[in-house]
Amino acid sequence: MNIPTLTLSDDQASAFDSVTEMLRSAGVNLDDHLLLPPVSSAHSVMAVTGKAGSGKTLLLAELYKALETAGVDIVSGDYESKKRVNKRTLAILAPTNKAASVLRLRGVPATTIHRILYTPMYDPEYERIAEWLEGRGERPEIEGITDISLDRAATFYAGNKSIPGALAAAGLRGSDFITGWKRREEPLDIGFVDESSMLDDKQFEDLKEIFPTLLLFGDPAQLAPVKQSGAMVFEKLPAPRVLNLERVHRQTADNPILDLAHALADPSLEFSDFEKMVEDFSKKDERVVWGQRVEVDLMARSPVLVWRNATRIRLINAFRAVHGAPEDALLEGEPLICDGIELPMKHRKKRLDLEARGLIKGAQVIFLGQGRKPGFSRLHVMGAQDPQISAASIVKIEKPDEEEPFIPFAARMGATFLHGAAVTIHKAQGSQWDTVQVFAPDLFVAARMGRMEAGQPLWKRLAYVAITRAQERLIWVVRNRLSKPTEGLRVDDLRSIAPAPLTLAEPDPEEFI
């Protein structure tokens, strides 16, 4: 077997070998870099599971590199060339934009599940540019596209393998080259799905229709999707098809956040004991903070994680109050969470366009200001590859002790949003932030109630998910207090990310109603 360039742990290496054997049946021989027709037409599903720090993402990245080296075509979701004879395809997926962006930051070309379920249809003229950029055709000559523009596109693509981004660098808008969206008709070969603990049964069945070979990566200690009865899709697989990884200590050494997360596995650990452990860690390591109040400055980009909706709503209204936000408008820089899309079936094409640009349920966005038409918003979609968009919006601000939310403004139909300064731990799954604030009084309530989920105390599962959202620093907030902001909300850093925002469907990016 070709040994990966990085030395893997024993269970990682064993899992690599098991996956290699599964891929051989799919026509991919990693030992000899051979691509052959699939040996069997039967569906094959395998799962790699493990808690935080066990090396699931590392293994996924090494498998991706091995498949790319073997000549497997990587399907990114933004452009898909015509399938070649005797070629195998791989798509690396995540349930949310934020989860996909975590992988992309590690050099893995991940996209969302939705972008694989639905594919863009390109104008044939501009498809010639895409084929050339991928090395599958001659340099095209297209009226209105100069050699300088083509050179800009090639330079962009060399550093960032995004066809829409390269075409935008050539001066084209998405509406110039994408004529619509369609449900995928042709299956792909191999699918890797990260954060698969978030998959529900319907998504799992959709993926099995597309991928005869499917590899799931998931954490069994996280929270199961709502309405899944505490079960995750990979827990229903037969035992030989589930490869479990243990924590890799040499790769996660001296990480107090992971130490706290793994301490929750102790069945004798009570909530008070755990809080004492957090406080002790905070005295020894600055990456763990024993917080006396919620830091409001962090809430615009990193929401406070809570258990109860009532807590979430109170914190959101406190955040808006300290920033002086009016009730009838949003301030630039306020965070929002997409709560779905309200469009009738006759606007299916527009729904697909919004979802393809990142406005799927649970997407985190920053409000950049009102659009040119009433009810439209200019938005920055966190984690999306092309983050700047404008869309018809219905914004709902929930109020404490009020059944109906306050709506500062709304289009007749479009993407719906809730405020995002605080989110439930369930909704935070799949996301990560440099600094995470966990509202501990909520978890204390869960512990006092004695609730269980899948045989584990609910507070422990909540604490595990919340803690492992933190990449660099964990703030364990122990009091129901909010700090004052040290500065106003800002958007200048987001606007500088994409000075020429890319739009991916309509000639007018605000024509969604």
Q: Say what the pLDDT of residue 81 is.
A: 63
Burial letters for 280-296: b for 16+ Cβ neighbours within 10 Å, e otherwise?
ebbeebebbbbbeebbb
Confidence of residue 1 (pLDDT cuts 50, 70, 90): very low
Please name which of 233, 262, 265 lies closest in space to residue 47, comparing C-alpha atoms: 233
| Amino acid letter for position 439 | F
Could you tell me if 44 and 23 are in contact, meaning their C-beta atoms sit under 8 angstroms apart? Answer: no
Please name which of 79, 108, 107, 83 lies closest in space to residue 94, comparing C-alpha atoms: 108
Q: Say what the pLDDT of residue 168 is.
A: 75
Could you tell me if 485 and 320 are in contact, meaning their C-beta atoms sit under 8 angstroms apart? Answer: no
Q: Is the pLDDT of residue 505 over 50?
A: no
Confidence of residue 17 (pLDDT cuts 50, 70, 90): very high
Q: Is the pLDDT of residue 79 over 70?
A: no
Mean per-residue pLDDT of the chain: 85
Q: Which two tokens stand for residue 65?
A: 């590199």
Q: Say what the pLDDT of residue 458 is.
A: 94
Q: Is the pLDDT of residue 499 over 50?
A: no
DSSP-derived 3-state class of residue 26: coil
- Strand 304-306 vs strand 422-424: parallel, antiparallel, or unpaired? parallel
The string of pLDDT tens digits covering residues 50-65 is 999 888 999 999 999 9
Q: Which two tokens stand for residue 217?
A: 């990566």
How far is the C-alpha of 423 from the C-alpha of 426, rounded, in Å?
8
DSSP-derived 3-state class of residue 111: strand
Q: Say what the pLDDT of residue 509 is.
A: 36
Q: Say what the pLDDT of residue 50 is.
A: 93
Q: Where are the beta strands (DSSP E) in 200-316?
A: 213-218, 242-245, 288-291, 304-306
304-306: strand order across its sheet: 288-291, 470-477, 433-439, 304-306, 422-424
Confidence of residue 439 (pLDDT cuts 50, 70, 90): very high
Sign of the C-alpha dihedral, residues 189, 195, 61, 498? positive
Question: Could you count the other beta carbons within 10 Å of the beta carbon of residue 395?
Answer: 24
Please name which of 392, 416, 421, 391 lies closest in space to residue 405, comparing C-alpha atoms: 416
Q: Which residues pair with 159 in a beta bridge?
A: none
| Amino acid letter for position 299 | M
Greatest mean pLDDT range, 31-35, 250-254, 419-423: 419-423
Q: What are the Cα distances from residue 442, in Å, to 35, 134, 179?
A: 53, 51, 48
How far is the C-alpha of 185 from the C-alpha of 118, rounded, in Å?
9
Could you tell me if 388 and 502 are in contact, meaning their C-beta atoms sit under 8 angstroms apart? Answer: yes
Greatest mean pLDDT range, 164-178, 314-328, 333-347, 368-382: 314-328
Confidence of residue 441 (pLDDT cuts 50, 70, 90): very high
The string of pLDDT tens digits covering residues 18-50 is 999 999 888 888 888 778 777 666 779 999 999
Could you tell me if 260 and 281 are in contact, meaning their C-beta atoms sit under 8 angstroms apart? Answer: yes
- Using only the alpha carbons of the chain, give its radius of gyration: 23
- Strand 335-342 vs strand 288-291: parallel, antiparallel, or unpaired? unpaired
Question: Could you count the other beta carbons within 10 Å of the beta carbon of residue 243?
Answer: 22
- Strand 28-29 vs strand 414-419: parallel, antiparallel, or unpaired? unpaired
Query: How many CA atoms lie less than 13 Å away from 84 in the CB half-sphere?
Result: 13
DSSP-derived 3-state class of residue 52: coil
Confidence of residue 266 (pLDDT cuts 50, 70, 90): very high
Residue count (the chain) = 513
| DSSP symbol at 82 | P
